[in-house]
């Protein structure tokens, strides 16, 4: 028998515990939750596991690897979308083979005797057996009724109390014969309980039920997570606690290593210690689980609490019923007696008192002597702003709630004159729609009128601001590409640029002090509802005028375009057709499931575009990312350009068009500079807080990440215009992408992130500046040090998180790796 482990959920209901790790990896008694279940199955003789992943798959893969360290063999399957529970298992069919298999969730804790379920399945010669159990509250589960012969007669998924017909529920534990997979359609969203089971019952295939006895808990939220610990420590579950066992007068101590504790330390109830735990004198631990690398200093009293890893607790701390996550620092005399959840990366200063059940989200800093009585979700002292370069990011409907969006709008509108007008748009995500509507109310209350253009790319909104004197700013809402459960709100000024740091500081001050302008009833703003058609038409007409049909004049052009389910579907296809470009457009529709895993979507997109371009002999492939700001290119030979190849290819193309008159280009300080373009004047500088008049002196502004602004049309990132301009230039100069790309000499260029505490960033800047003495260097943005004419390193402390950004350019890989080793060793030394 093989085992299929369902481990792909987002863990939304259990946030913020799943901020950086998937739910199956949450520690239970210092081991990932799914490890306990997998080891139970291993001990029953199951050696082959198929693990279905989706959210943060690399965390699980990095921990378990191929399974050999655990005495098993693991195969991983990562779906490219949401196929439902049964549909996901269908994707693993080739690995399941002709053996029967057990399906189990990675996010449960149980002491069931699975051997009895195996024996039942075999005895009944069942095709599909379902493990059942009884619970006090069946509302969140599938209720099941079986007859005396153990044949299931009725299902009801997540009933209301008025619909409950039994307290016996489906545990999600199934044993299935491989022929059942034939009833599951491939590449479709198909659920076991909603789709497969009714289908099998309709076809008169008996579904067998076996009532499992013992402990079972679906760990769905922070409360149930803590309750699991209570049950384990109070022996309500038959759970084997690992480690050496030592008896104390009032309790038992389990530990991964031998500890010789000071006689003043009290161990009460059940206590587990991980590796490298340090306990000060007079510490009292009562029913506490502590992970690796934790220090609890003298006179602290900890009761009914869970500590993950890499935590420091100062003297005289008093914690009861608390959950402390990884990488937190807690100063002395801190009290939390009512159920604190302190997420990863937090810092708590001395004398802080948490007065009731509160949840502190990741990377927050609590000031000394603070009295904390409410959840702290958005904003922290370290950031000094809720903004990151004109945008606000956060978990949808958690950090970015309707309340937060409304307050942000009031703070923004309070900086604008009464009666002024702003434009507001969004992508097609439901969270964006929700937040935008809350935002509109805040604008109106401060006396600001709104042009609401609904589903529209940000490039269209920025074009409208730049070309409509009645608009003094704007806002755009979209789903984050890098984190599918988060949203992004971007605010624009009257020049259609992201708001400056000065503006964001003023808005943030109003936000936190709640000093909003509330106008008289007669001055409340008005919503001018509009479809996006007029704005899109104006935008499209302006592009067509600028392109001036040169693509048609200079010859036919063919392109494969993948819109990646983004916001350009209403503009790009019609524009290509109008300009006479032979095109194949892919993914010109919104798909929330595909966008939930952008890395997988990106890989699939590159493969598909490359294959089609090459097989049909098209001139190029074009990938426009969902936010309509970033693009990538595929050559006529099917090669997907790297980000450096993309930048240098565009610069080479612009160089061809600048033979008669040189063109000016602006690049960030971290952009490579190893290749010379004789017809381009390239300036490198700090890539932030621009003003429109400064940008207008350039012909092109670009980054190293696929963002291009051709100033002849506008000074904002615009993948639509940039892609059409690239087609025009390729056609007019009769040159191919592969020829341009092949002219780029190979060299070393990489970006690195190195962890660095906020307190050490100033020291790093000083050390880099000291190290630059006697060498060519620059401190225009961070510190850039040249080793010779071609090799350099640039260090920029990250503004928003605890790490340093390193950019390294070198003539070859040997020099580049040597430069990285040299400075990473120096940073490690300087950090001591």
Q: Measure the N-to-C terminal CA separation of the chain; round to a whole number of Å.
A: 52
pLDDT at 138: 66
Q: Is the pLDDT of residue 474 over 90?
A: yes
* Percentage of the chain exceeding pLDDT 90: 65
Confidence of residue 378 (pLDDT cuts 50, 70, 90): low
pTM: predicted TM-score of the whole model, two decimal places: 0.70
- Indicate the range of 175-189, 412-426, 500-514, 619-633 predicted with least confidence: 500-514
pLDDT at 552: 56
User: What pLDDT was estimated at residue 163?
Assistant: 47
The dihedral built from the CA positions of residue 64, 222, 477 and 801, taken in this order, carries a sign that is: negative
CA distance 664 to 680: 6
**What is residue 487's predicted lDDT score, i.e. its pLDDT?**
93
pLDDT of residue 382: 30
Q: Which residues does 465 contact at the CB level (< 8 Å), separation at least 6?
A: 423, 471, 473, 474, 492, 494, 495, 496
| Strand 527-529 relative to strand 449-455, pairing | parallel
Half-sphere exposure of 749 (CA within 13 A, CB side): 18
- pLDDT surpasses 70 at 164: no
Can you tell me the mean pLDDT for 752-757? 88
Query: What is the percent of the chain where pLDDT is above 70?
Result: 96
Return the structure tokens found at 495: 């020049």
- Model confidence at 385, pLDDT cuts 50, 70, 90, reads low
Smallest Cα–Cα separation from 414: which of 450, 456, 453, 447? 447
pLDDT in tens, 767-821: 898 898 899 998 888 889 999 999 999 998 887 677 899 999 999 999 999 999 9
Asked if 636 contacts 617 with a C-beta cutoff of 8 angstroms, the reply is: yes
Name the average pLDDT for the chain.
Answer: 90
Q: What is the pLDDT of residue 468?
A: 92
For residues 490-500, average pLDDT: 93
Q: DSSP per residue over 91-160, as a string?
A: TTHHHHTTS-EEEEESSEEE---HHHHHHHHHHTT-SEEEEEEE-S--TTSEEEEE-TTSBEEEEEES--
On the question of pLDDT at 262 being above 50, the answer is yes
**How confident is the model over 623-637, as pLDDT tens digits?**
999 988 899 999 999
> Residue 110 — pLDDT band, cuts 50, 70, 90?
very high
Across 517-524, average pLDDT: 92
DSSP structural state of residue 22: -
What pLDDT is stored for residue 553 in this prediction? 54
**Residue 159 pLDDT:** 57
Q: Could you give the CA distance from residue 564 to residue 559 in angstroms, rounded to a whole number? A: 15
pLDDT above 60 for 18: yes
Residue 472 has pLDDT above 70, yes or no: yes
pLDDT at 380 over 50: no
* pLDDT number for residue 313: 97
How much is the average pLDDT of 419-445?
95
Averaged pLDDT for residues 226-232 = 93
> What's residue 555's pLDDT?
59
């Amino acid at each position: 028998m093989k085992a299929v482990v369902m481990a792909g959920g987002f863990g939304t209901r259990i946030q913020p515990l799943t901020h950086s790790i998937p739910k199956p990896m949450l520690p239970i008694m210092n081991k990932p939750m799914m490890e306990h279940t997998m080891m139970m199955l291993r001990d029953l003789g199951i050696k082959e596991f198929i693990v279905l992943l989706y959210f943060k798959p690399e965390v699980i893969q990095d921990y378990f690897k191929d399974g050999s360290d655990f005495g098993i063999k693991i195969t991983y399957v990562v779906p490219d979308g949401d196929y439902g529970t049964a549909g996901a298992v269908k994707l693993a069919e080739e690995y399941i083979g002709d053996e029967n298999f057990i399906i189990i969730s990675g996010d449960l804790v149980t002491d069931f005797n699975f051997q009895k379920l195996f024996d039942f399945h075999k005895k009944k010669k069942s095709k599909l057996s379902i493990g059942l159990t009884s619970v006090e509250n069946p509302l969140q589960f599938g209720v099941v009724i079986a007859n005396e012969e153990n044949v299931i007669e009725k299902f009801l998924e997540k009933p209301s109390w008025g619909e409950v017909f039994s307290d016996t529920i489906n545990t999600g534990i199934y044993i299935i014969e491989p022929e059942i997979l034939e009833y599951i359609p491939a590449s479709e969203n198909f659920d076991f309980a909603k789709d497969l089971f009714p289908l099998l019952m309709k076809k008169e295939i008996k579904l067998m039920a076996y009532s499992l006895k013992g402990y079972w808990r679906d760990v769905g939220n922070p409360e149930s997570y803590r309750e699991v610990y209570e049950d384990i420590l109070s022996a309500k579950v038959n759970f084997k606690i690992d480690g050496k066992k030592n008896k104390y007068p009032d309790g038992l101590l389990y530990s991964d290593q031998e500890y010789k504790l000071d006689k003043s330390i009290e161990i009460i109830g059940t206590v587990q210690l991980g590796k490298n735990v340090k306990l000060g004198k007079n510490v009292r631990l009562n029913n506490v689980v502590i992970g690796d690398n934790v220090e609890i200093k003298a006179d602290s009293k900890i009761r009914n609490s869970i500590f993950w890893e890499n935590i420091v607790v100062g003297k005289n701390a008093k914690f009861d019923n608390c959950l402390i996550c990884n990488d937190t620092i807690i100063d002395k005399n801190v009290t939390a007696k009512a159920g604190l959840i302190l997420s990863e990366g937090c810092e708590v200063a001395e004398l802080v008192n948490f007065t009731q059940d509160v949840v502190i989200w990741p990377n927050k800093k609590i000031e000394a002597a603070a009295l904390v009585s409410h959840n702290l979700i958005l904003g922290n002292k370290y950031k000094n702003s809720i903004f990151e370069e004109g945008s606000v990011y956060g978990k949808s409907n958690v950090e970015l709630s309707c309340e937060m969006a409304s307050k942000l709008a009031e703070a923004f509108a309070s900086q604008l004159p009464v009666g002024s007008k702003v434009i507001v748009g969004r992508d097609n995500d439901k969270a964006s729609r929700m937040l935008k509507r809350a935002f509109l109310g805040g604008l109106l209350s401060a006396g600001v009128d709104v042009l609401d253009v609904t589903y529209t790319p940000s490039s269209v909104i920025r074009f409208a601001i730049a070309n409509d004197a009645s608009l003094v700013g704007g806002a755009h809402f979209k789903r984050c590409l890098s984190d599918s459960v988060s949203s992004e709100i971007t605010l624009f000024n009257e020049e259609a640029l992201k708001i400056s740091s000065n503006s964001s500081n003023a808005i943030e001050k109003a936000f936190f002090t709640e000093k909003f302008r509330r106008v008289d009833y007669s001055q409340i703003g008005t919503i001018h509802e509009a479809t996006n058609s007029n704005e899109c038409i104006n935008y499209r007409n302006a592009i067509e005028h600028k392109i001036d049909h040169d693509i048609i004049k200079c010859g036919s052009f063919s392109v494969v375009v993948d819109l990646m389910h983004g916001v350009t579907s209403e503009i790009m296809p019609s524009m290509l057709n109008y300009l006479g470009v032979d095109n194949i457009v892919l993914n010109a529709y919104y798909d929330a499931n595909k966008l939930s895993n952008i890395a997988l979507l990106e890989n699939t997109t590159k493969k598909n575009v490359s294959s089609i371009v090459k097989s049909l002999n098209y001139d190029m492939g074009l990938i426009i990312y969902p936010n309509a700001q970033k693009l990538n290119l595929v050559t006529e030979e099917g090669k997907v350009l790297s980000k450096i190849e993309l930048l240098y290819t565009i610069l080479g193309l612009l160089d061809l068009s600048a033979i008669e008159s040189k063109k000016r280009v602006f690049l960030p300080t971290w952009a490579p500079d190893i290749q010379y373009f004789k017809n381009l004047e390239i300036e490198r500088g700090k890539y932030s807080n621009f003003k429109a008049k400064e940008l207008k002196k350039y012909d092109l502004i670009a980054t190293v990440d696929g963002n291009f602004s051709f100033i002849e049309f506008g000074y904002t990132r615009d993948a639509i215009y940039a892609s059409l301009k690239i087609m025009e230039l390729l056609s007019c100069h009769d040159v191919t992408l592969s020829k341009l790309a092949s002219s780029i000499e190979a060299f070393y260029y990489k970006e690195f992130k190195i962890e660095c505490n906020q307190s050490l960033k100033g020291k790093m800047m000083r050390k880099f500046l000291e190290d630059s003495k006697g060498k060519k260097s620059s401190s225009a943005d961070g510190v850039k040090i040249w080793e010779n004419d071609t090799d350099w390193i640039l260090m920029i402390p990250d503004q928003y998180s605890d790490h340093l950004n390193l950019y390294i350019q070198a003539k070859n890989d040997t020099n580049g790796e040597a430069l990285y080793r040299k400075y990473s060793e120096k940073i490690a030394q300087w950090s001591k």
